[in-house]
Chain A
Amino acid sequence: MSDAVALRPSRSLPLGAVLILIPLALAIAGLAIRYAAYSTVAQDASLAKFAEGMCQWDCAWYIKLSETGYDPFPIPTMINAGNWAFFPLYPILVAVVRTLTGLETIVAATGLSIVFCIASARVAWPLLGKGLRAYTLFSAYLLAGPFSIWFTTFYTEVLFLFLTICVFVALQKRQFLLAGLFAALLSATRIVGVFIVFAILIEIWRAHRGAGGTWRDFVPAVLRRPDLLLALFVAPLGLFGYMAYLHFHIGDALAFSHVQRAWSRPTGNPAVFVWNALTSFPKEGWVPTPSQQLAVATLAGYALAIALLVRRQYAMGVYALICLTLPLFAGMASMLRFTAALAPIPLMLTRLLATYRWLFAVSLIVLLAAGYLATIGWLTGYLSLV
């Protein structure tokens, strides 16, 4: 009996409906969990203030960006850090929803993020081996788990994850041009999104090998297929479009990168950063320091990326390794968020946790409980969640 059949709640309920009901139910559960945590921390725990209260750290930057656009230079507020580091696609989408609905920015963003979470789960179904246990865990991970603090507020993580999944689903179906189009949107969402072009290239190579092709005739074969060329050239279009905009807006196409100087990010060897973080022991007690937690999250990400390679999911594995390694050149900051929102990582994790029924049950409970605790940590400024 297949997993999908074994866990189907009712024989009369079509699978399509089940696949919508599971994330919907978890969306409601997630809202209840986060609100319960919020009400224990916030002074004004009204529902009206909930969305606003959940908007912490970079969320405020995204709100301002969505409302007023990109900073000129000099920056009117006379600070060094312009908002050019934040990529445009998600703030634009939120602005569109806000304009159409008349809602407050954070409310529009919260609603849109939850819709993207549900859509991400639904689209990921074929990547989860069409197993309901993995599907349920993945939905819980997005909508009610500890990282729902990012996925359901105003961070680009949810769109980044959704578009990454869309690319890999298109690649699984060998729809390379469609994958390229999703990749173009992805590269307008976060800088590392542009590197998904390597995943597309790997899948083109695998299709070529599958059709009996060799290394020698790979390039000529690709050149003979304008749809493949188009997929590869359209993939970075979001990034190039944003760079062109930045040049004509403030004169520097690389402003998104140069502005990192204003945040005083260090640059160095990723391995050294991870080691320093891992050995940053607490001065008292046994609770790991935020640095150690970030290092563990990063190493777990690497382990899951390697597991993808072992399972011959080379495109996902290579993409995950690139996306994990590049931010590490600027230190450990936000590595938990970057790892958690890197779609291949939770896809692999939830598939592993769904292997046994007891493990699935324990994981689901842990995810929901961690959702509550992480929300409290988020609202009280716990550093590893930034």
Chain B
Amino acid sequence: MSSPLRLGAYLLVGILALFELGVVWLMLHPDVPPEYRAYFIDKTTTCLNQPVAGTYSLGTTIPFTPEGRDLAKPIRVCGWEGPVGDGNHAVGTSARLRFVYPEPARALTLKLRMVAVQRDDHPTQRVQVVVNGETVDTLTVARDPPQDFSVDLPHSLVTAASGRIDLELRFPDAVQMGPTDPDNRRRSIKLLSAALIPA
């Protein structure tokens, strides 16, 4: 190999090395939205927020069945799988719904129909109800048959919501079904229906 060619080859090696080091630097400094970082990188949540519209009319009961798929789709933010049979399985340690409604409201009651996962070692599942970032109740859901729950939302919270309720259900007792299942496959409850009823 002639000297200029050798020099050119060394130069090319240097450029490649710099490029590859640069990419390593980029790799170590991701520039992503907080929800991406939380779900994919830090793994601090199992529920990756999706920008659903939350289109909803107060008083409507949303069935989480195959027939209710179109109604449920705009309010399902994350953490749901299905519909399967009569409902949607929650997967992971939390799941979210969004209700964006045009009607004015001062008092609302959240109605949920749920059933706990069938596991002998977990007869019940606790469900923490968090509305717009504020914990409002903790429910205890048993196995079959499905149960109905009503949670009165605080007036101050509903007034401040301005027509948008972001509901998070947290599942502190979510069960690892298989020995190698990751946290975003944990099972807790199945949601059959949800509604926000004006007082």
Contacts and interface: CB of A to CB of B under 8 A. Distances in A.
Interface in A219-257: 226-227, 229-230, 233-234, 236-237, 240, 243-244, 247, 250-255
A268 interface: yes
A119 B10 CA distance: 33
A226 B184 contact: no
B184 A264 contact: yes
Interface string A369-385: 00000000000000000
A279 interface: no
Chain B interface main SS type:
helix
Contacts of A331: 180
B12 A230 contact: yes
A265 interface: yes
B181 A264 contact: yes
A102 interface: no
Interface in B43-60: 43, 48, 50-52
Interface stretch (A8-16, A42-50, A72-80, A357-365): A72-80
B199 interface: no
B121 to A, nearest CB: 21
A330 to B, nearest CB: 10
B32 A229 contact: no
B160 to A, nearest CB: 26
Size class of the B contact interface (CB-based, 8 Å): 35 or more
Nearest to B22: A244
A252 B13 contact: no
A236 B20 CA distance: 9
B30 A233 contact: no
A187 B19 CA distance: 16
A252 B30 contact: yes
A225 to B, nearest CB: 8
B50 A78 contact: yes
A233 B13 contact: yes
Contact of A74 (B12, B13, B16, B51): B51
B113 to A, nearest CB: 24
Contact of B32 (A244, A252, A264): A252
A273 B182 CA distance: 14
Interface string B3-17: 000100110110011
Interface in B1-41: 1, 6, 9-10, 12-13, 16-17, 19-20, 22-23, 26-27, 30-33, 36, 39-41
B190 interface: no
A312 interface: no
Contacts of A261: 39-40, 43, 182, 184
B185 interface: yes
A226 B185 CA distance: 50
Contacts of A267: 182
A80 B182 contact: no
A177 to B, nearest CB: 9
Interface string A249-283: 01111110011011011111000010010000000
Contact of B181 (A226, A250, A266): A266
Contacts of A234: 16
A252 B23 contact: no
Contact of B39 (A80, A253, A254, A268): A80
Contacts of B6: 226
Contact of B30 (A240, A251, A273, A276): A251
B16 A254 contact: no
A74 B35 CA distance: 10
Q: Which of A247, A268, A276 has the most CB of B within 10 A?
A: A247
B33 A233 contact: no
Interface of A: 73-74, 78-80, 226-227, 229-230, 233-234, 236-237, 240, 243-244, 247, 250-255, 258-259, 261-262, 264-268, 273, 276, 331
Those 10 A-B pairs whose CB atoms lie nearest each other, nearest first: A226-B9, A266-B180, A251-B31, A258-B40, A253-B27, A78-B50, A233-B16, A251-B32, A247-B26, A252-B30
